[in-house]
Amino acid sequence: MAKPTLGSSSSRRRSKRDWRRQFRYFYWRFVRLRSTPEEIARGLAVGVFAGWYPIFGLQIAVGILLATLVRGNRWVAAAGTWVSNPLTYVPIYAFNYHVGQWLLGSKNQIFSDDSLLSWQKLTQLGTEFLTTLFVGCFVVGAICAFFSYFLGLWLAHRVQRRRLQRRRAKRLD
């Protein structure tokens, strides 16, 4: 009998099954959160806020830290940072940059040939660019966090209410 090769269909089926199992585990863990709706909403809000910043690799850590500070749910904060991902980085940060330009009133184009000629001008360009981007990230992140708090609060109340109704229905049976 021949051994299955590395790319055999049985190993692909197994990996697909493992992926589904992990997804199901995290789904149920999320649904069965034992936090109050307010804690869940706070966690979502700070996670979304952290997700709007271009601090790649640190967004989840910042979201969890902020959730700890505001006594929000850390799991939901980590999930909330996923608003930005490799597919949405460019549109999100371009939008944030334009919002920062609009708020700071700097309509000039930052990148030009003469700004790249000296180290001092390049450093100044980086500072201006990052300041503009971070102002936009703060404002857009704060607005999105505000709305995600109320969306998360509504959703958490709804999920917990349904769970309670199902438990009561089971007891009556």
Write down the pLDDT at residue 119: 60
The residue written with tokens 């021949």 in the block is: 2
| Rg from Cα positions in the chain | 22
Write down the pLDDT at residue 108: 62
pLDDT at residue 146 tops 90: yes
| CB-based contacts of 123, cutoff 8 Å, min separation 6 | none
Write down the pLDDT at residue 14: 66
**DSSP string covering 53-120, please?**
S--TTTHHHHHHHHHHHTT--HHHHHHHGGGS-TTTHHHHHHHHHHHHHHHHT--S-S--TGGGSSHH
pTM for this model (two decimals)? 0.73
* Average pLDDT for 138-157: 95
How far apart, in whole angstroms, are the C-alpha atoms of residue 79 and residue 89? 16
- At 41-63, the pLDDT tens digits run 999 999 999 999 988 889 999 99
**Backbone phi, then psi, for 108, in 5-degree steps?**
-75, 155
- At 91-127, the pLDDT tens digits run 998 899 899 999 998 766 555 555 545 566 656 677 8
The residue written with tokens 């509504």 in the block is: 154
Distance linking the first and last C-alpha atoms of the chain: 53
In which region does residue 3 sit, left (phi positive, over 0), alpha (psi from -120 to 50) or beta (all else)? beta
How far apart, in whole angstroms, are the C-alpha atoms of residue 24 and residue 17? 10
